[in-house]
Chains A and B, each alone.
Chain A
Amino acid sequence: MSSSDAAVHGHGGHDEHASNPHLAHHFDSIATQNHASRLGMWLFLGTEVLLFAGLFLGYAVYRHFYHDTFRFASHTLNLTLGTINTIVLISSSFTVAMAYNMVKKGNNKAAAGLLVFTILCALAFLCIKAFEYQHKFVEGALPGKWFTFEEMKGMPGANMFFTVYFLTTGLHAFHVIVGMAILMWVLKKVIKGQVDPTYYIPVELGGLYWHLVDLVWIFLFPLLYLI
């Protein structure tokens, strides 16, 4: 590399720093910075997958141990509510993707509306989940030492299904809440006009996180409700 190349390189970097307030001092172009942000987010999503993986392993182990009990227990869950919740979450994934699209097109108003809808979907999901939980509390279909469910009394490992059920859906519900907070932060940026067709990384990353929350449920739903 000749010294003039280095000079051009350095010069180009300074130009973009002056014109783009989003560009941090240690990156030389916004493209590199965006690449870094995306890579960081994907790695973080990888850690989330492994966090849930431990619980999925637990599910697999206990399903193997207590196969018949698990099959029976899955029918005691409310399939209608589970299905509605699945539809709610898939719709919210669609709207968050649309919001991202709208920001890229410069239509922040539409994006804000779509984000509000997404957040409302998340809220609806939590409400329905809370209703289901409440039902389980009344029935006594609870984990470990709290288990008093008459319908499954005496079945081996009956409480383990509900241990796994509450741990997985509980951790997922926590992620829904975190996702809502992230989407609200994105919404604030959209409303204030801090994102636009030249800089939309926050919307993209927030959307990615929401998709992951969705994806976990896509696996939980069949494992807990359907099979």
Chain B
Amino acid sequence: MSQPADSAALTPPEAPAYQKINYLNVDRGVMSWLKTLDHKRIGIMYFVSVLATFLLGGIFAMIVRLELTTPEPTIIGANAYNRMFTLHGMVMVFLFMIPAIPGVFGNFFIPLMVGAKDVAFPRLNLLSLYVYWTGAVIVLIGVITGGADSGWTFYAPYSTTTPMTLFPVLLGVFILGFSSILTGLNFIVTVHTLRAPGITWMKMPLFVWGIYATSIIQVLATPVIGLTTLLVGIEKVGGFGLFDPGRGGDPVLMQHLFWFYSHPAVYIMVLPAMSVMSEIVAAFARKNIFGYKMIAYSSLGIAFVGFFAWGHHMFVSGQSSFDGGAFAVISMLVGVFTAIKVFNWVGTMYRGAIYVSAPFLYLCGFLFFTVFGGMTGIALATISPDVHWHDTYFVVAHFHFIMVGAVIMAFLAAIHYWFPKMFGKMYHEGWGMVGAAFIVLGFNATFIPQFLLGNAGMPRRYYMYPERFTALNVASTAGSSLLAIGFIIILIYLIYALIHGEVAGPNPWQSKGYEWRTSSPPIKENFEETLEYPEPPHTYQQPGEEVEHVVI
């Protein structure tokens, strides 16, 4: 890989190919990491943590899939199966997807993208990591010893009457909420107060816009899940009767409170994914972002509308048909904002100078999952088909497409795109594309059969199923093993790149993003000097200029 000559205009001309004294090695020893206030190190610690939780959640998913290869009991018992899908859901939602992109890439890149030395409250930032660790440990201990079997949704009255000990899990989720709130609060204040002179709101990188919108949801919705878990816990331990119809309580109230957080939480997961893709599409199409303002505002639009769509989880919970209709229409508005983004991304690629690489392949996969996951979402938001699909594998496949597919694609794309900046090394592009192919194909192979299963009527969370569903279940499990192989390939070549990878240089992609305007890996203080920001962050051509292919 040759060093691009013309990137000098963007990066400091004297920037070395590899910054010898960087944020990774400027202070040494374990304590220098545990006590660090540096947002980049906190991002790296989040990175390691969410990779570990992703591995755990993935193992649980594989156990669930293996169990479902035959209609009869296969490898585990029915109770263990219930605990496995609960573990998979809880770990993936609360420990992986919610903190993944904001915790890792938000922490690492938001200050770099707004030209700041750190986030607004560095100590709160470290605290959020410790709170995350505390919550994670409590959840894991709780699930392993207590044996939560309620699914990640812990609906009452099952969750309040199951013989399993659920309290530690609820406590853990409650604590994790604080971590999420602190992260979001920190980003909002950072964006408001720490933008470098010259970076106006309309010159903020789109990643920052997306994380900003996410943070608003984190701050406003998370307290409600905190309260909900608290109430379910009190109900389970104290018998207060709040969700117990036998004592005059209303279990549907619990569902309302739960989804008031957990529906916006979908956008806590997917908005960061979309914002990663807004960065990547411009960088790999070598073209000015199309419709900057529309992409920025549609993030806020999703954040806003997302607060009023929760009732579409409860079409069959006895809400009035007027409520159902209102929630259905509002839910479809999310599709409008998402479509605005999709059209703008495709518009950016149109007549661009596309550089095909691992991040770009993930972008393609992301577009596919977003569009098809989104369209099945519109279908599910329509009340009459939803009654048929409710609680079937169709829903499982839908949210794995739109939520998990989008997040995994963006998470992997972000790893590949920013790996050179974070570690100063380059991964092997050929293996990168092989890995991406496994992931995109494996994901489709896993979940397309589940769409079909759901449409044929297989309910979610069931331990056994009729003989006629066997073939599709086997197909789905086979697909998930492709995914597992893909992740193993990625892990191997990334670790290899970390140790033996070629030196990447300050800006190997020749990206115009602000975060590339420092050395790789960055120094502790982020930038050597105060920079100026004359141009918006996604400007690859001046008006009238042709797009230019680059050799990377």
Candidate in B238, B247, B253, B257 with the most chain A CB atoms within 10 angstroms: B247
A35 at the interface (CB under 8 A from B): yes
CB of B250 within 8 A of CB of A65, answer yes
A181 to B261 CA separation, bound complex (whole angstroms): 29
Contact of B239 among A62, A145, A156 (CB under 8 A): A145
Query: What CA separation (Å) do A46 and B118 show in the bound complex?
Result: 24
A43 touches B248 (CB 8 A): no
Cβ contact within 8 Å between A47 and B228: no
Majority SS at the chain B contact face: helix
By beta carbon, the residue of chain B nearest A51 is: B223
Shortest Cβ distance from B120 into A: residue? A36
**Which one of B223, B240, B260 contacts A48 once the chains associate, using CB atoms below 8 Å?**
B223
Q: Which chain B residues lie closer than 8 Å to A116 at the CB level? A: none
From the candidates A26, A33, A66, name the one contacting B116 in the complex (CB within 8 A): A26
Any A CB within 8 A of the CB of B121: yes
- Indicate if the CB atoms of B228 and A54 lie closer than 8 Å: yes
Interface centre among A6, A50, A166 (most CB of B within 10 A): A50
Question: A6-B530, A26-B118, A43-B188 known; A55 and B227 CB under 8 Å?
Answer: yes
Known: A6-B530, A26-B118, A61-B253. A1 touches B239 (CB 8 A): no
The contact of A144 among B221, B228, B240, by CB within 8 Å, is B240
Q: Does any Cβ of B come within 8 Å of A185's Cβ?
A: no
A43 to chain B: closest CB distance in Å?
5
By the criterion CB–CB under 8 Å, are B197 and A1 in contact? yes
Q: Which of B186, B189, B227, B239 contacts A54 (CB 8 A)?
A: B227
What separation, in Å, do the CA atoms of A164 and B231 have in the docked complex? 11
Most buried by A among B119, B186, B250, B530: B530
A-side contacts of B244, CB under 8 Å: 144
A72 to B355, CA, bound (A): 72
- Given A54-B228, A145-B239, A160-B247, A40-B120 contact (CB < 8 Å): yes
Q: Does B385 contact A (CB under 8 A)?
A: no
Residues of B in contact with A, size category: 35 or more
Taking CB atoms, residues of chain A closer than 8 Å to B188 are 39, 43
Interface assignment of B241: CB less than 8 Å from any CB of chain A: yes
> A1 near B532 (CB under 8 angstroms)?
yes
A140 interfacial by beta-carbon distance below 8 Å: no
B249 touches A43 (CB 8 A): no
Is A27 engaged at the interface, CB distance under 8 Å to the other chain? yes
List residues of chain A with CB within 8 A of the CB of B194.
26-27, 32, 36
CA distance A163 to B239 in the complex (A): 10
Chain B residue numbers with a CB within 8 Å of A156 are: 248
Tell me the minimal C-beta distance from A141 to chain B in angstroms.
13
Q: Is the CB of A160 within 8 A of B198?
A: no
B122: Cβ under 8 A from any A Cβ: yes
* Nearest chain B residue, comparing its CB with the CB of A5: B197
B226/A159 in contact, CB under 8 A: no
Residues of B within 8 A of A36 (CB): 120-121, 189, 192-194
Convert B396-423 into 0s and 1s, putting 1 for each residue whose CB lies closer than 8 angstroms to a CB of A. Answer: 0000000000000000000000000000
Which chain B residues (496-552) contact chain A, with CB distance < 8 Å?
Answer: 529-530, 532, 534
Q: How far is the CA of A131 from the CA of B113 in the complex (A)?
A: 55
B326 to chain A, nearest CB (A): 17
Q: Which of B117, B241, B250, B532 contacts A145 (CB 8 A)?
A: B241
Minimum CB–CB distance for B127 against chain A, Å: 13
Which of A10, A44, A50 contacts B224 (CB under 8 A)?
Answer: A50
Contact A144 B239 (CB under 8 A): yes
B220: A residues at CB distance < 8 A? 46-47, 50
Q: Does A127 contact B (CB under 8 A)?
A: no
Within 8 A of A (CB), among B247-265: 247-250, 253, 256-257, 260
A75 contacts partner chain B, Cβ-Cβ < 8 Å: no
With A6-B532, A9-B197, A157-B248 given, is the CB distance from A46 to B219 under 8 Å?
Answer: yes
**Which residues of the partner chain A approach B314 to less than 8 Å between Cβ atoms?**
none
- B102-144 residues with Cβ-Cβ distance < 8 A to A are 111, 116-122, 124
Note all chain B residues with C-beta closer than 8 A to A215: none
Q: Are A51 and B226 in contact (CB under 8 A)?
A: yes
| Nearest residue, chain A, Cβ from B116 | A26
Known: A47-B220, A57-B256, A144-B249. 6 other contacts (CB 8 A): A9-B530, A40-B121, A54-B231, A54-B260, A58-B253, A160-B249
B→A interface (CB under 8 Å): 111, 116-122, 124, 181, 185-186, 188-189, 192-194, 197-198, 219-224, 226-228, 231, 234-235, 238-242, 244, 247-250, 253, 256-257, 260, 529-530, 532, 534
Pairs A–B under 8 Å by Cβ, sample size 18: A3-B532, A9-B197, A26-B116, A36-B189, A39-B192, A43-B219, A47-B222, A48-B223, A53-B223, A53-B224, A144-B238, A144-B244, A146-B239, A159-B241, A159-B247, A160-B248, A160-B249, A167-B231
Top 10 A-B pairs ranked by shortest CB distance? A144-B241, A145-B239, A26-B117, A144-B240, A157-B248, A51-B223, A54-B227, A26-B118, A50-B223, A36-B193
